[in-house]
Amino acid sequence: ATPTALMVGTGRGAKMGILIKNGEVLGAVNDVKTVVFDKTGTITVGQPQVTDIVGDEAQVLRIAASLEESSEHPLAAAILKRAQAAKISAQPVSGFRAIEGKGVAAQFDGHNGFVGNHKLLTDFKLDDKLAQQEIRLQNEAKTVVFVGLDERIIGLIAIQDVAKATSAEAIAKLKARGLKTVMLTGDNERVAQAIAQQVGIDEVIADVLPGDKADQVKAFQQTGKVAFVGDGINDAPALTMADVGIAMGSGTDIAIDAGGIVLVKNDLRDVDKALALSRKTFNRIK
């Protein structure tokens, strides 16, 4: 092994904004068969915006903003931003709970309030009109959350996070190399499919609970080595499980720590560049 080649490779990467933190990933790169991507913040910009509100807008926003104030989820940030723009202030709530992969709940004004997706609604029956709205909005690649008090759904909020301008080109490059591309997300199947279609992803696994992402990576490892690309706290176990963990530089510290490679420019086209550089560097040192 020639450490010089490794240094040259990592030095060249650093200049391109590709940090190879862990030389061990280099050995796996030649055998990567599948590249698995997180959706939010990785394929998409990660700054969701409220686009539609169904129901009494002021009431829906007041309840949703009050409940989401203690949440750190990107969807919560979108709702709070929209409430602020509409000059609607949050009211204090008690007993706030985040329900993983589903939403949030708290006591609002003496009622059991909630904001979340379909999975949170097991005790409710959606009326046909709201159910149709949900499907229509999801087909437009918008994430739908319902807002409710006690047994009543008072409205819904649609939130959109657009694909990064370079994501489609990045995916096409990897496919041209014969790699299989997969999107792994906690978001709804319809929304995930709509984004996947825009960027050309081969396969979608949606409605994945945060704790299950690493297991999904493991399943793909049955068919060859896997690279995982992600940015969130909940991506860290999958980044560690993957043969090549690639973290976005804009990601959370926990994701960056877990990644063997870091893409400083947050440009998904650098995944292909990172794989090519790693391959070249490895072939020189072996």
User: Is 234 a binder of Mg ion (CB under 5 A)?
Assistant: no
**Of residues 43, 29, 94, 12, the one with CA closest to residue 206:** 43
Catalytic residue (choose from 31, 38, 235, 243): 38
Site string for ligand ADP, 5-34 (x = CB under 6 A): ------------------------------
Q: Is 145 in the site for ligand ADP (CB under 6 A)?
A: yes
Handedness of CA 105, 145, 197, 200 (dihedral sign): negative
Q: Which is nearer to ligand ADP, 43 or 262 (CB)?
A: 43
What is the smallest separation between the CB atom of 161 and ligand ADP, expressed in angstroms? 9
Is 80 among the residues that bind ligand ADP (CB under 6 A)?
Answer: no
Could you say which of 232, 237, 245, 259 contacts Mg ion (CB under 5 A)? 232
Beta bridge partners of 19: 262
Contact flag: residue 186 with Mg ion (CB under 5 A): no
What is the Cβ-side half-sphere exposure of residue 167, based on CA atoms within 13 angstroms?
25
**Residue 274 half-sphere exposure toward CB, CA atoms < 13 A:** 35
Q: Does 237 bind Mg ion (CB under 5 A)?
A: no
Site string for ligand ADP, 102-141 (x = CB under 6 A): xxx----------xxx------------------------
Distance in Å, CB of 181 to Mg ion, minimum: 16
- Crossing angle for the helix pair 57-68 and 74-85, nearest 10 degrees? 130
Considering only residues 187 to 206 of the shown chain, the ones binding ligand ADP according to CB under 6 A are 187
> Minimum Å distance from CB 221 to ligand ADP?
20
Catalytic positions, written as ranges: 38
